[in-house]
Structure 1
Amino acid sequence: MSKPRIAIVGAGLGGIAAALLLRQEGFDSVLYEQAPAFARLGAGIHVGPNVMKVMRRIGLEPAMEAMGSHPDAWISRNWDDAAVLSRIPFGDYARRTYGASYLTVHRGDFHKLLADTVPAGGIRYDKRLIGLEERDRDVLLRFEDGTSVEADIVIGADGVNSVMREHMLGTELPRYTGYVGHRAVFPASALAKYDFSFDQCVKWWSEDRHMMVYYVTERQDEYYYVTGVPQAEWDMSKAWVQSSQEEMYEAFAGYHPMVQSLIDACSDITKWPLLERDPLPLWSRGRMVMLGDACHPMKPHMAQGAAMAIEDAAMLARCFKAVGAEDYETAFALYRANRIERASRVQKVSHDNTWLRTNEDPAWVFGYDVFEVPLVEPVRAAA
């Protein structure tokens, strides 16, 4: 199986990164995405130095540098008086200390850059996976449109509601955390009327809720906020719903006038449930393996969810190179052994929502280089 047929379920950031990194190691793949087409969704994303090192390997670091905003620092502020709780330096400090830049970008722009790098025909849209059949020599994937494909190896990068995870571990809804996130992207020019100097990257904290705010373009012409707000219940049949300024004013009553101005500046607001799962007992079975939110979904409070998926993709490609596609089970075991501790730690810190609230050292996250860390061997079962 020197040239295995690799199917990747899900063309999000982690899935596309896996396709591009596998291609660099000589393994071709096809991405199967349930969405009918690409869309620039209204969300921002942090791209830390740990991710930029992967973009460097793919060859997209210069394009990312030109696309994103380069904040000088992550600033944490107290909710009512704007007192600075922490200031974590980025900019030139990040390049010197962690080996790459720290960016904030529009998630859709980042996604499009990756997707446009995939060779023609490498992404098949409107392919909603509905079934998997494990056979002696391959796996049969069945899609909602009535088509099917055969693959030697299947990578599940299909998110928190992964069909791959469900097939491997049974049906179980992700756990609603009791928190929602409001999202809004709006022109930075809408802030010109307010007499404030808005931070490039800031998180506003109170005891039970927060608002993260940053620019998403190099020109700093688009501003973004995302929140974490307690809400007792969520209809799990809905991926997201519309929110409103009125709801935001109520959620952030008493917050500093700078936060009130952010709410006033934008009326197009969506609301999303924050979901997670307990660490899974397995990440692979037979010819199937998972990455990203499919196997370790987490709250977004470290801004490292997509980063963990992209790191997973890089480590999986590295393990295929080290072991070879013929011995995929050993490659999968090596992959999990070299990702489980880090992913679980990030999952826990994200759950606790303490990241960078105080002046801590983030080097264990940002200084990590997935291509350079020594590989650890999987623990072998006793004979």
Structure 2
Amino acid sequence: MEINPAVTFKHNPSVMHSKRPKVLIVGAGLGGLALGMILQKSDTPYEIFERAPEVKPLGSIVSLTCSSASMFKQMGIYDEFHALSRALSVIKVVTAPELETAFLIAGFENPTKRYGAEARTIPRPKLYDLLMRQIPKERIHLGKKVLSTQQGSNGVLIRCADGSEYEGDILVGADGAYSAVRQDLYAQLKKENKLPASDGLPLPFLNICLVGQTRPLTLEEFPDLVKSQCQFINILAKDKPYAWMTFTTEQSTVCFGVLQYLAEETTKDDDAFRNSEWGPEAAKAMCEEVKDFPIVSGGEKQLTLGDLFEWTPKDLISKVMLEEKLFKTWSHCRTVLMGDACHKLNPSGGEGGNNALQDAIVLANYIHALPDHPVAEEIEAAFNAYREERIPWVEAAFTTSQALRNMVDSNMKAKMMRFFMKNMPSWVSGMIERRVLSNRPQVYFLSRDETACELAPAPQASLNLKRPESKRQQKNKDDDGVVAEEFAQPV
């Protein structure tokens, strides 16, 4: 079925060749907001659709490496991001119940000199707010639960639960691990026998997690807040299937997360983990289970997770599943996926936020480089190039996240992993860090971030894109004897 019949290729050429493709972004998470923020700096029309009627300040902390610093600088909001966040240079791993230090995970000294920026942590709600303020309010439509999507050679269409419909030229699924856009896309591909078998399987998970953020605390309540750097404490239980972590913030709050390790891999569809296991009552029950677990506060008084729960508004504590899956299919025709919709990473590696922002940068580059009024084949080629550029980095992040998830378990494999981390030669850790932090993508159509640093960024294919000229411009050049350029070729 062809949709968006008003968009045909029989229009007046003077209208058709001046039209930029309209982008419909489903999901106002980090990735969707970042993509909208970048497109706002271009001439590409876009709209964002979010199923939630309001954005609640849920979640804990987002840890961002230097990989996203250039984007914040190009957007002109790095100083504000810096003021809202705290530097992170050391992760302290301790064991419970004694709270003895097992080892430290530390990065290179002076990361700004080496990479142009340092790793920073920011409360998730603060990052959401910063990104949303870069986008005009009329571009973000809340309370828009997408029920179905369609695509064809002429356009895309979404239908929402309130009966509204929206048409465009490109559909971006940035709607999380259980993406409605992905489900419709995969249903279409399955009918055409084009969907890899693994992509049709449910998302597996081995952990569930309790997350939240306290109210602002005093130094008497939590002395470590006085330290300028983020105090990231990862606590491992010796005799329980749990690990928990705390982070201090620039807002004098403490973000926390509690991981529970399941005996075996499961999915959301399993009987034991249906709706009765989730929601406010389930979060309250898990709080009761772990409230006596000790934490490190920097003071003489021994605090527990229960103290953090008491200092946290109850409606801002949530219980979530930590799914892990790297999908093979990221796009088809005019539809493309990004962030958790195509690669759900365990948060143990701290790479979910980084990769969502990197997706937004690279995808925005390829969308911007499309010709005026692109046909489906041109859009699909751009999406394939986007995946080709991103997949090596995502695969590496996925592997790292799984390894760090295993490290904080209580089994023998985890103990061996911790022994290796504790005794890793500095040259090995340095090699790993340089490889990971060399990926520092930028938006090609904005002024480059030229911050001097010792380690040059890895090559970025989309940084060399160039939007092709319109057919009218090409014709004018041809008439003058000048050869026209081809679509989006590197310069």
Q: TM-score range by the shorter chain?
A: 0.7 to 0.9
**How far apart are residue 69 of structure 1 and its match?**
2.2
Query: 1:29-84: per-residue Cα shift (whole Å, max 9, x none)?
Result: 11011111222224222122112222222221111111112344222223444214
1:38-53 matches, within 5 Å, as 38-53=55-70
Name 2:12's counterpart in structure 1: none
- State which of 99, 106, 116 in structure 2 corresponds to 1:88: 106
- State which of 332, 338, 342 in structure 1 corresponds to 2:389: 338
1:163-242 matches, within 5 Å, as 163-170=180-187, 174-187=202-215, 189=217, 192-193=220-221, 200-206=231-237, 208-216=241-249, 218-219=250-251, 221-231=252-262, 233-235=272-274, 240=279, 241-242=282-283
Alpha carbons of structure 1 residues 98 and 84: separation in structure 2 relative to 1, 3 Å:
farther
Aligned partners of 2:82, 2:328: CA distance in 1, in Å?
38
**How far apart are residue 328 of structure 1 and its match?**
1.3
Name 1:374's counterpart in structure 2: 459
**How far apart are residue 132 of structure 1 and its match?**
1.0
The SS at the match of 2:182 is helix
Name 1:329's counterpart in structure 2: 380
The SS at the match of 2:273 is coil
Letter in 2 for 1:247: E
TM score, norm. by length of structure 1: 0.86
- State which of 305, 309, 313 in structure 2 corresponds to 1:266: 309
**How far apart are residue 150 of structure 1 and its match?**
0.7
Name 2:465's counterpart in structure 1: none
Letter in 1 for 2:322: L
1:4-19 matches, within 5 Å, as 4-19=21-36
Letter in 2 for 1:338: E
**How far apart are residue 188 of structure 1 and its match?**
5.6
Alpha carbons of structure 1 residues 374 and 332: separation in structure 2 relative to 1, 3 Å:
same
Greater Cα shift, 365-374 or 281-290:
365-374
Aligned partners of 2:349, 2:142: CA distance in 1, in Å?
30
Aligned partners of 1:323, 1:189: CA distance in 2, in Å?
50
**How far apart are residue 123 of structure 1 and its match?**
0.5
Name 1:381's counterpart in structure 2: none
Alpha carbons of structure 1 residues 39 and 246: separation in structure 2 relative to 1, 3 Å:
closer
**How far apart are residue 237 of structure 1 and its match?**
6.9
Aligned partners of 1:341, 1:68: CA distance in 2, in Å?
29
Aligned partners of 1:308, 1:8: CA distance in 2, in Å?
17
Letter in 2 for 1:273: M
Alpha carbons of structure 1 residues 77 and 132: separation in structure 2 relative to 1, 3 Å:
same
For structure 1, which runs of at least 5 residues remain unmatched after alignment? 378-383
Query: 1:179-207: per-residue Cα shift (whole Å, max 9, x none)?
Result: 11111311463673578899712222347
Name 1:243's counterpart in structure 2: 284
Q: Is the 8 A contact 1:132 1:167 kept in 2?
A: yes
Q: Is the 8 A contact 1:239 1:273 kept in 2?
A: no
Alpha carbons of structure 1 residues 281 and 71: separation in structure 2 relative to 1, 3 Å:
closer
Aligned partners of 2:202, 2:275: CA distance in 1, in Å?
9
Q: Is the 8 A contact 1:10 1:33 kept in 2?
A: yes
Name 1:118's counterpart in structure 2: 135
**How far apart are residue 101 of structure 1 and its match?**
2.9
Q: Does residue 303 in structure 1 map to residue 376 in structure 2?
A: no
Aligned partners of 2:318, 2:91: CA distance in 1, in Å?
24
Aligned partners of 1:40, 1:184: CA distance in 2, in Å?
9
Query: 1:280-306: per-residue Cα shift (whole Å, max 9, x none)?
Result: 231000000000000011211111112
TM score, norm. by length of structure 2: 0.68
Q: Would you tell me which structure has more helix in proportion to its own residues?
A: 2
Matched residues, percent identical? 24
The SS at the match of 1:339 is helix
Letter in 1 for 2:343: H
Q: Is the 8 A contact 1:191 1:265 kept in 2?
A: no
**How far apart are residue 323 of structure 1 and its match?**
4.8
For structure 2, which runs of at least 5 residues remain unmatched after alignment? 1-16, 191-199, 264-271, 409-417, 423-428, 443-456, 463-491
Aligned partners of 1:238, 1:51: CA distance in 2, in Å?
35
CA RMSD of aligned residues (A): 2.9
Name 1:380's counterpart in structure 2: none
